[in-house]
Structure 1
Amino acid sequence: MSNPVVVDIGPVTAADVVAVARDFATVSLAPAAVQAIAESRAVVEALAEDPNPHYGISTGFGALATTHIPRERRAALQTSLIRSHAAGTGTPVETEVVRAMMLLRLSTLATGRTGIRPATVDLMVGLLNAGITPVVPEYGSLGCSGDLAPLSAVALALIGEGDVDVVTGTTAVRRTAADALAAAGLTPVVLAEKEGLALVNGTDGMLGMLCLALHDLHYLWDTADLAAAMSIEALLGTDQVFLPELQALRPQLGQADSAAAIAAMLATSPIVASHAGPGDNRVQDAYSMRCTPAVHGTARDTTAHASAVASRELASAIDNPVVLPDGRVLSNGNFHGAPVAAVLDFLAISVADVASISERRTDRMLDPARSRGLPPFLAYEVGVDSGHMIAQYTQAGMVAELKRLAVPASVDSIPSSAMQEDHVSLGWHAARKLRRGVDAVRRVLAIEILTAARALDFRSPLQPGPVTGAAVAKVRERVPGPGPDRHLAVEIDAVVDLLAERQL
């Protein structure tokens, strides 16, 4: 269990998002946040008494913003908003995505800019700490006016409606929200003025998935450098192209980092040393080897940019309207998901590129015309065994899929709400396809590592370097070395698990 996360008026961190989403860290509100929530609620309640209309407080929503709602119908208005906007459909999204959304919405509520009541915020905290996760369908968000349908599905649980998953350890049980809240000693709320909007106007779904993806990709880019080093070593490639003086001629930060990492892993390799020296003519390795730092480094730089955007979004109070510190309640467009959607798409491009170059290195190890002495397809008994032939097919299929997933969602837009919401971000869609991309690139890299480990075994009695050798040893804890063909899918998944567990 991770350390508790305290939600204050300032931003939560991406690490906080991961801790709550994946490790079920408990959540509490800081005293300053409690005070800020109460102060902004007082402003909303004062405006509720005002005979002049105020959007979301005494009016309808979206294209119905000019419709005045009498005081006695405003609670029904808020409840109707949640019920009608919880219009998603499809397979429920992952528990970690919903918990990330909940924490991020809670963080915005804690800023004191939304006008929500303290009791409603306390119930959100209670759901997180009780492991109660609302069921959120995959389809429904356009990524503008917030992730409306997904966040409405979350808000539905706060009023005791809809279904939830109650997670205990590794077990999740589907229950009605009413039953789950009662069992946890929690009481549903009756929403008051402004609260429905405060619960659903945010970029929390797409931002949560961005934070989770960034957490995974930071590790996977290190893994990609390791996989490349193993493959270059197995292919008797040169390490001279990774020299710092060559990288300095092109001062791209990510490229320098990847080149340095690969050079360090190859520096003391007996295999590399076996063909190094004045007589080594391997100065023009294929691009998939020689240009690895450019591709991996670009992914690192893209991730750094996406992390900067995420950190700014984490520091944002996304709602409409918002309660300003001077007491004004103003409409705005900060809920538009464009900043997040663009970097989600940008990351999908880098994911596809890293997977593509990984597949090319794998294919090279399997081709006797290019593998510099390795057996065809790394088969144990050539002609009888197929070795890793079809593992590369699997990689190729995933790379093809990743290219399709790299097509940006954020350049699309479908008008909605009677043309009131006439330009949307589709950031939720960008986030969903990036999640598929992260899973696929992990699997592509796992196949390269599995293949490179087998190729390095075939180089015996020459031994790999300490780092790549340790990686081979870690793989061999779960997958045997070369031998007659075995059920290869099981071995691929074993290395996928190694990466998912961060064992390499």
Structure 2
Amino acid sequence: MILKLTGNDLTIEKMREFYASPNAQVEITEDAYARVDAAKRIVQTIIDNERVIYGITTGFGLFCDVFISKDKTAELQVNLIRSHAVGVGKPFAQNTVLGMMIMRLNTMLKGHSGVSRALVNQLKTFINHRIIPHIPEQGSLGASGDLAPLSHLAIALIGEGKVYYEDKLRPTAEVLASLNIEPHVLEAKEGLALINGTQPMTSQGVINYIEAEQLMHDSMWIASLTHQALNGITDAYNAKIHTSRGYKESIHVAETMLDWLEGSELTTRQGEMRVQDAYSLRCIPQVHGASLQTLAYVKDKLEIEMNAANDNPLIFSEEEVFSGGNFHGQPIAIAMDLLKIGIAEISNISERRIERLVNPQLNNDLPAFLSPEEGFQSGAMILQYMAASLVSENKTLAHPASVDSIPSSANQEDHVSMGTIGARHCKDIVDNVRNVLATELFIALTAVEIKGADKLSPKTKAKFDEYREIVEFMHKDRVFSEDINAVSEQLRIIK
């Protein structure tokens, strides 16, 4: 796959295809190169004329009024990224960093950053060779750009720090030498152009979105297995109910549930076994539908940001070089907080269905905890504990990061987004949701097998057969974490 970058038309779907293609490469269009060259010429004119422009001929943050002579402008950029590379904690996943580089390159191709053709080519080289900078996750406030993580990215481009290459963490200089790649020599404004941006939170946000979208889809067929294991009532999914309320997402979920359940011999109609199901079955369209609503908002904001000029200052012409705040991560911070809530609710309702599968007072004559020998073997008892633990953890992680702010740079930067924290917490929630859904699926597989897998709807029987190749029937107590991990990995999109 070839991903052509123009600065204007990067999409989540293109990123999904890129991640799915191990040998995918990026290319830069000629018109994008032309915009880069034009902006670079303007920067050089500013330096030659000794104009006072933030970040080009001045210091940074509170030092914005300190003039820097033209003989020091390049050294200024190196000092900037070295001093700002202060990230701590575990590193971002390699695919997240790969996305950061693609998105940082894409924004530079808009022609408002004032960087050299050599710098964009260095980014392209790192991407295509899969030279992945080691970037610690923690340390960004999500305004003035994701300064700390992007500084670790920038350090690698000039041959410093460490990178992953062929899945091994090595000194950057060593890797570049082995590939005959020269470290980039930063020119005026380039350090600032590399670190004033929202790429860490946006890249992590794109991966969060891709995984969350898939889990929202998976949650429906997994719920349909549980529905059949509990002899659920299909009337609650009647189209008239949902069109009468009007939410298109709930209408979609109800239609999808009926599609998955079509032809099942395990479902019931109202009044046959009971008049109504519990909410965790009856309200699947309303709850899952509400979570689906968050995806459209999040996708819109991410795709705007993926193609945004979000550094500072921005160059439009020799006369129009403006300092602004496009680096502020608030749009993505709020989007990540919303996605956190939307996807966390999927695990909340899933855990309630797990409880119904294992609780002998609620599971419609299934064995207590699906134990093959009640009392002697615990069966799925502690699986519900684990799911409840993850759901509870998600409630803490779902607290909005975007409502927090703390001043920095001697109060010059007095409101920040905390968007990268939100994106990181969203990733943790997505991972927890995947494990909760994997747990529901694993338990439902055994439950429907007890009820009679041959009675499943044809579509869910195909899913049953697929996952029975991965995990066995719960015929005796064993280390069930291995089963959950196997199912969870099968549900993961971006490995």
TM-score by length of 1: 0.95
Q: Which 10-residue stretch deviates more, 461-470 or 471-480?
A: 461-470
CA deviation profile, 1:105-146 (whole Å, cap 9, x unmatched): 000111111000111111111111111111101111100011
CA deviation profile, 1:456-498 (whole Å, cap 9, x unmatched): 1111286111122222111211222241222211111221122
- Residues 230, 325 of structure 1: alpha-carbon distance in 2 compared, 3 angstrom cutoff: farther
Contact 2:82 2:151 survives alignment (8 Å): yes
How far did 1:368 drift? 1.2
Q: Which runs of 5+ in 1 are unaligned?
A: none
How far did 1:43 drift? 0.7
Match for 1:280: what amino acid? E
How far did 1:16 drift? 3.0
SS at 1:27's partner residue? strand
Alignment-derived partner of residue 449 in structure 2? 457
CA deviation profile, 1:182-204 (whole Å, cap 9, x unmatched): 21221112211111111111111
Contact 1:161 1:177 survives alignment (8 Å): yes
Q: Distance in 1 between matches of 2:325 and 2:67?
A: 22
Alignment-derived partner of residue 446 in structure 1? 438
Q: Distance in 2 between matches of 1:90 and 1:461?
A: 47
Alignment-derived partner of residue 12 in structure 1? 10
- List aligned pairs for 1:314-329, cutoff 5 A: 314-325=306-317, 327-329=319-321
- Report the aligned-residue RMSD: 1.6
Alignment-derived partner of residue 400 in structure 2? 408
Q: Which 10-residue stretch deviates more, 459-468 or 249-258?
A: 459-468
Q: Distance in 2 between matches of 1:470 and 1:225?
A: 15
- Residues 256, 140 of structure 1: alpha-carbon distance in 2 compared, 3 angstrom cutoff: same
Match for 2:207: what amino acid? L
Q: Distance in 1 between matches of 2:159 and 2:349?
A: 50
SS at 2:401's partner residue? coil
- Residues 21, 321 of structure 1: alpha-carbon distance in 2 compared, 3 angstrom cutoff: farther
SS at 1:106's partner residue? helix
Alignment-derived partner of residue 36 in structure 1? 35
Alignment-derived partner of residue 225 in structure 2? 230
Alignment-derived partner of residue 240 in structure 2? 245
- Residues 357, 416 of structure 1: alpha-carbon distance in 2 compared, 3 angstrom cutoff: same
CA deviation profile, 1:308-337 (whole Å, cap 9, x unmatched): 111211221111000115751110111100
Q: Distance in 1 between matches of 2:148 and 2:127?
A: 19
Q: Distance in 2 between matches of 1:9 and 1:313?
A: 11
How far did 1:207 drift? 0.6
Alignment-derived partner of residue 264 in structure 2? 269
Match for 1:32: what amino acid? D
- List aligned pairs for 1:114-263, cutoff 5 A: 114-167=113-166, 172-263=167-258
Q: Distance in 2 between matches of 1:211 and 1:226?
A: 24
Contact 1:17 1:104 survives alignment (8 Å): no
TM-score by length of 2: 0.97
Equivalent of residue 356 in structure 2, options 364, 368, 385: 364
Q: Which runs of 5+ in 2 are unaligned?
A: none
Contact 2:262 2:458 survives alignment (8 Å): no
Contact 2:350 2:436 survives alignment (8 Å): yes
How far did 1:175 drift? 1.6
Match for 1:257: what amino acid? H
Match for 2:170: what amino acid? R
Count of residues in Structure 1 that have an aligned counterpart in Structure 2: 494
Match for 1:465: what amino acid? S
Q: Which 10-residue stretch deviates more, 397-406 or 472-481?
A: 472-481
How far did 1:231 drift? 0.9
Match for 1:199: what amino acid? L
- List aligned pairs for 1:309-388, cutoff 5 A: 309-325=301-317, 327-388=319-380
How far did 1:283 drift? 3.3
Contact 1:9 1:36 survives alignment (8 Å): no
Contact 2:230 2:363 survives alignment (8 Å): yes
Q: Distance in 2 between matches of 1:324 and 1:412?
A: 33
